[in-house]
Amino acid sequence: MTLAVDAPYAPQKVIKPGLQWGAALKALRRLLKDKEDTVQVFEIMRALNGKSTARGYERLLTTGQGGRIAYERVEFAEKLMDREWLASFAPGTVGHAYAEFTARENLSADGLAEVSKVGVSQIDIKHPHAWFGRRTRDVHDLWHILSGYSRDGLGEACLVAFSYAQTGGLGWALIAVGAASRSRKDGGPYPYTRAIWQGYKRGKAAAWLLGEDYDKLMAEPLETARRRLNITPATIYDSIPVEARDALPAT
């Protein structure tokens, strides 16, 4: 009897993360010129966030439920694209608020995922750090819900500052600083910079959101979740008139 022999295993090579400030700054300039150019956001993240992604994965393993979450390695974007699943959440829950938000803003998790793949080939590889990077990407719009920041220019700038505090990713920090610098340069009459700084402080004070079990979180009442996670109100952002919040680049 002849036994079939599998071909030798050829492991996928993963580019070691490093800081590419030149590429990040070029992408930031393009983003500040066109706030709808979301591709530049992912260029900045790829240039600066690699080390924080690896650190985040290792941190996940130290949490109470992180080992299970990492072992199961659910692709959360696929769940967020399940309309039946989203429709199952009761009014007032995080999941229901997310479903309403994405419908109102005409957003989809697969849309964000496709933008993140432009010009790169390693996003979908089967590697723990790549999976954790996708997880971080896919919860972005959920963090809009939890933080209370809308998708206007200022709301996005506040959320990237919040995200820097949560992830330690320098890409988030660069966009937040760029947005704050632009607001000061433009001499706007409203406290944009203070709102962005508060976004950072709120993210720092909150529980670590990347360690959450999002299946359970989606079913939790929104206000209950915010209290449990110590996500305080965005008082400065909320005090700025809605019509004045779109003077900054969105992400």
Model pLDDT for residues 173-207, shown as the tens digit of each residue? 999 999 888 766 555 546 899 999 999 999 999 99
Query: pLDDT grade, residue 122 (50/70/90)?
Result: low
Query: pLDDT grade, residue 152 (50/70/90)?
Result: very high
Q: What span, in angstroms and rounded, lies between the C-alpha atoms of 129 and 120?
A: 16
Q: Which residues pair with 93 in a beta bridge?
A: 221
**How much is the pLDDT for 114?**
59
Measured in residues, the chain has a length of: 251
Q: What span, in angstroms and rounded, lies between the C-alpha atoms of 181 and 213?
A: 36
**How much is the pLDDT for 162?**
98
Whether the predicted pLDDT of 233 surpasses 50: yes
What is the mean pLDDT of the segment spanning 87-96?
97
Burial class (CB in 10 A: 0-12, 13-18, 19+), 45: buried
174 close to 44: Cβ distance less than 8 angstroms: yes
**How much is the pLDDT for 158?**
96
pTM for the model stands at: 0.85
